[in-house]
């Protein structure tokens, strides 16, 4: 496949509320991002994705938009945005925005109008249904964040659909006016020069005809079979591409909730002209059985290899995916997949070595470049995430888990883990803000912070910088033919990749003990492109890998 700028480029996700606070009110903002653009440039990233920056009552931190074409006042002004875009482009970095088009805020003008009466012209912008015969919700759908997905509206005696919180009513994409409104908003930003969109829960925009009850299966399966991939989704994505995205030098990146590898191509195969790439959930959810705050399964390396393999095969040379091991919705990557204590630095470096040598666009989530870890919130009052809070409240009623255990689960899996302020230095609140931040800083900022790591040549941060610049020089990191080696080895992840005349071998130790590996090659004088330790212990064709050691060899 042709390596366009968005396929080859590395995306860095910013969660603006937690990135950098320029005016010390405890909330990150656009000027805070501008202050850090040189830092981002020094990381060798190519594209910035901003989580939502639009006006919002912040029931779900901006994923509930009340005006698609204005800036959330807490984050700054339109002038600030224009400057941010200019300054980003000046540094040769692209900027994409978060398009939340499946739902808006209940405080959006559209919904406020729609609620006024059944004949209001905006009524049909949303999904309204009569109650079931017992007066209850029209079907058994559950919201992603707990409780029924339907909310009763007293005034009209009807229910409206909200797959997320009740302050996030789902938009009715069957209505062509809704689609045009969204396309207009997209054009507004694209005309300013933004380079594309990450599309929030985009597979959910088309609902199954007749809103049938969901079967009694796990929530993940319900998402796949009922909520996502509705009958008109491809028609609308084609339309969106044709009318909007294709008119610009811009790309679309779907959050692929509910998409499994067997249908991925329908969304991202190049010849379909729908979306340019997607994130899938299989890696991010590989330890979560059905949904958050339920059953968890231990990390299993062979299972993870399988996930990467099936997705690679699904789109090989026909479509494209994006790879991430963390974002604002999941616990921290090094805490989940590495060892955030004894081998903090080693495991953080090994994981990014793995991710950056997988086929697809590489994604980094803010703070992962310094190995930010999960936080331990001491009391429910410190929790901010609506998903965690809803779980805690619901659990108070059901008493399924003790309150201590519920808080422990929130600390293990909750979204606040990824949302603590970025740790810039060892000053108060990690240098994020002089004022108490909206979500408390992880106290480990005294050790884990950008300033420390910037000075230390062996830091995680400087490893990221080196790795990303190496990746830029070797397209074989980004795509190519994959050959798995020792696939069933539960501790080592080893693969050979070939593109044209270039071959690399990637050897990663996921274990906290030394591991022996026989490469089958004469390794004398071999060029080591990436190594998270100072040395590599080689004996002819064999090597001894230190705990969490990861290397990339150039086999030419």
Q: How far is the CB of 98 from ligand TEU (least distance, A)?
A: 8
φ/ψ of residue 24, rounded to 5: 55, 50
- CA 54 to each of CA 177, 244, 524: distance values in angstroms, whole numbers, following the listed order: 21, 20, 56
Q: Which of the choices ligand TEU, Ca ion, none does residue 340 contact, using the CB cut-off of 5 to 8 A by kind? A: none
d(CA 79, CA 88): 14
Any bridge partners for residue 517, and if so which? Answer: 543
| By the rule CB under 6 A, 200 interacts with ligand TEU | yes
Number of residues that bind ligand TEU (CB under 6 A): 12
- Of the candidates 495, 499, 508, 492, the residue with the CA atom closest to the CA atom of residue 551: 508
d(CA 58, CA 52): 10
Q: How far is the CB of 200 from ligand TEU (least distance, A)?
A: 5
Contacts (CB under 5 A) with Ca ion, residues 473-512: none
d(CA 349, CA 144): 33
Q: Which of the choices ligand TEU, Ca ion, none does residue 25 contact, using the CB cut-off of 5 to 8 A by kind? A: Ca ion
Binding ligand TEU (rule: CB under 6 A), the pick from 14, 233, 257, 529 is: 257
Minimum CB distance to ligand TEU smaller for 328 or for 344? 328
* 3-class SS of residue 106: coil
- Looking up tokens 């009391």 gives 379
Give Cβ neighbours of residue 187 (< 8 Å, ≥ 6 apart).
244
Minimum CB distance to ligand TEU smaller for 158 or for 329? 329
Candidate ranges 23-31, 195-203, 269-277, 403-411; the one touching Ca ion (CB under 5 A): 23-31
Candidate ranges 13-21, 45-53, 208-216, 394-402; the one touching Ca ion (CB under 5 A): 13-21
Q: Do residues 71 and 81 make contact, with C-beta atoms less than 8 angstroms apart?
A: yes
274 as an active site residue: the answer is no
| By the rule CB under 5 A, 158 interacts with Ca ion | no
Helices 301-315 and 261-268, interaxial angle, to 10°? Answer: 40
| By the rule CB under 6 A, 106 interacts with ligand TEU | no
Binding ligand TEU (rule: CB under 6 A), the pick from 21, 46, 60, 106 is: 60
d(CA 537, CA 284): 33
Q: Do residues 245 and 274 make contact, with C-beta atoms less than 8 angstroms apart?
A: no
Which is the catalytic residue, given 21, 74, 200, 340?
200
| By the rule CB under 5 A, 29 interacts with Ca ion | yes
| By the rule CB under 6 A, 292 interacts with ligand TEU | yes
| By the rule CB under 6 A, 21 interacts with ligand TEU | no
| By the rule CB under 6 A, 63 interacts with ligand TEU | yes
Provide the greatest CA pair distance for the chain: 79
Q: How far is the CB of 482 from ligand TEU (least distance, A)?
A: 28
Q: How far is the CB of 130 from Ca ion (least distance, A)?
A: 45
Structure tokens at 193: 């020069």
Please return the burial class of 211, using the count of CB atoms within 10 Å of its CB with bins 0-12, 13-18 and 19+. middle
Minimum CB distance to ligand TEU smaller for 122 or for 144? 144
Report the sign of the C-alpha dihedral through residues 477, 536, 325, 214, in that order.
positive
Minimum CB distance to ligand TEU smaller for 12 or for 63? 63
Which is the catalytic residue, given 21, 46, 255, 274?
255
Contacts (CB under 6 A) with ligand TEU, residues 236-255: 255
| By the rule CB under 5 A, 25 interacts with Ca ion | yes
Q: How far is the CB of 201 from ligand TEU (least distance, A)?
A: 5
**Binding letters toward ligand TEU, positions 156-175, x by CB under 6 A:** --------x-----------
- CA 262 to each of CA 223, 258, 276: distance values in angstroms, whole numbers, following the listed order: 15, 11, 17
Candidate ranges 15-23, 49-57, 239-247, 269-277; the one touching Ca ion (CB under 5 A): 15-23
- Looking up tokens 């994981």 gives 351
Binding ligand TEU (rule: CB under 6 A), the pick from 106, 329, 346, 369 is: 329
Binding Ca ion (rule: CB under 5 A), the pick from 21, 170, 255, 339 is: 21
DSSP string, 116-175: T-TTSTTGGGB-EEPPPTTSS-SS--B-TTSSBSEEEETTTTEEEE-SS-TTSPBB-TTS
113 as an active site residue: the answer is no
Q: Do residues 503 and 526 make contact, with C-beta atoms less than 8 angstroms apart?
A: no
Q: How far is the CB of 556 from ligand TEU (least distance, A)?
A: 41
Strand extents, DSSP E, 203-343: 251-255, 277-279, 321-323
- Looking up tokens 């793995």 gives 354
Q: How far is the CB of 204 from ligand TEU (least distance, A)?
A: 9
Strand extents, DSSP E, 139-228: 150-153, 158-161, 196-199
Rule CB under 5 A: which residues touch Ca ion? 21, 23, 25, 27, 29
Active site residues: 200, 255
Rule CB under 6 A: which residues touch ligand TEU? 60, 63, 100, 144, 164, 200-201, 255, 257, 292, 328-329
């Amino acid at each position: 496949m042709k390596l366009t700028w968005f396929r080859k480029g590395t995306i860095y996700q910013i969660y603006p509320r937690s990135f950098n606070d320029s005016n010390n009110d405890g909330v990150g903002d656009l000027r805070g991002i501008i202050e850090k653009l040189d830092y981002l440039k020094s990381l060798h990233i190519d594209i910035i994705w901003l989580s939502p920056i639009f006006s919002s009552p912040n029931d779900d931190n901006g994923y509930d938009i009340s005006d698609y074409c204005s800036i959330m006042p807490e984050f700054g002004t339109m002038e600030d945005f224009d400057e941010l875009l200019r300054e980003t482009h000046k540094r040769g970095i692209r900027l994409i925005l978060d398009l939340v088009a499946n739902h808006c805020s209940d405080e959006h003008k559209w919904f406020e109008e729609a609620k006024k009466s059944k004949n209001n012209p905006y009524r049909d912008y949303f999904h309204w249904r009569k109650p079931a015969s017992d007066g209850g919700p029209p079907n058994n759908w559950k919201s992603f964040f707990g409780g029924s997905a339907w909310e009763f509206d007293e005034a009209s005696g009807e229910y409206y659909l909200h797959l997320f919180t009740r302050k996030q009513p789902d938009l009715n994409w069957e209505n062509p006016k809704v689609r045009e409104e969204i396309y207009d908003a997209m054009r507004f930003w694209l005309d300013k020069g933004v380079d594309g969109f990450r599309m929030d829960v985009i597979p959910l925009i088309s609902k199954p005809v007749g809103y049938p009850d969901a079967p009694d299966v796990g929530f993940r399966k319900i998402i796949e079979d009922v909520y996502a991939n509705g009958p008109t989704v491809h028609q609308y994505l084609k339309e969106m591409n044709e009318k909007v995205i294709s008119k610009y030098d811009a790309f679309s990146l779907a959050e692929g909730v509910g998409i499994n590898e067997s249908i991925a191509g329908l969304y991202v195969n190049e010849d379909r002209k729908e979306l340019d790439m997607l994130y899938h959930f299989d890696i991010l959810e590989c330890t979560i059985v059905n949904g958050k705050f339920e059953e968890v399964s231990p990390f299993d390396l062979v299972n993870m290899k399988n996930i990467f393999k099936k997705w690679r095969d699904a789109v090989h040379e026909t479509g494209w995916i994006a790879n991430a091991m963390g974002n604002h919705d999941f616990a921290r990557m090094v805490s989940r997949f590495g060892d955030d204590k004894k081998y903090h630095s080693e495991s953080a470096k090994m994981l990014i070595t793995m991710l950056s040598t997988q086929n697809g666009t590489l994604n980094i989530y803010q703070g992962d470049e310094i190995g930010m870890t999960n936080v331990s919130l001491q009391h429910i009052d410190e929790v901010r995430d609506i998903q965690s809070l809803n779980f805690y409240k619901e659990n108070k009623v059901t008493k399924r888990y003790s309150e201590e255990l519920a808080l422990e689960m929130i600390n293990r899996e909750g979204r606040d883990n990824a949302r603590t302020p970025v740790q810039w230095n060892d000053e108060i609140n990690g240098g994020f803000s002089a004022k108490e931040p909206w979500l408390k800083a992880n106290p480990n900022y005294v050790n884990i912070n950008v300033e420390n790591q910037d000075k230390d040549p062996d830091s995680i941060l400087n490893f990221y910088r080196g790795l990303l610049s190496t990746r830029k020089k070797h397209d074989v990191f980004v795509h190519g033919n994959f050959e798995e080696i020792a696939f069933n080895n539960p501790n080592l992840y080893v693969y050979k990749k070939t593109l044209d005349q270039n071959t690399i071998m990637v050897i990663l130790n996921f274990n906290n003990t030394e591991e022996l590996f026989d490469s089958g090659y004469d390794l004398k004088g071999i060029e080591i492109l990436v190594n998270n330790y100072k040395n590599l212990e080689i004996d002819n064709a064999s090597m001894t890998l230190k705990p969490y050691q990861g290397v990339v060899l150039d086999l030419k």
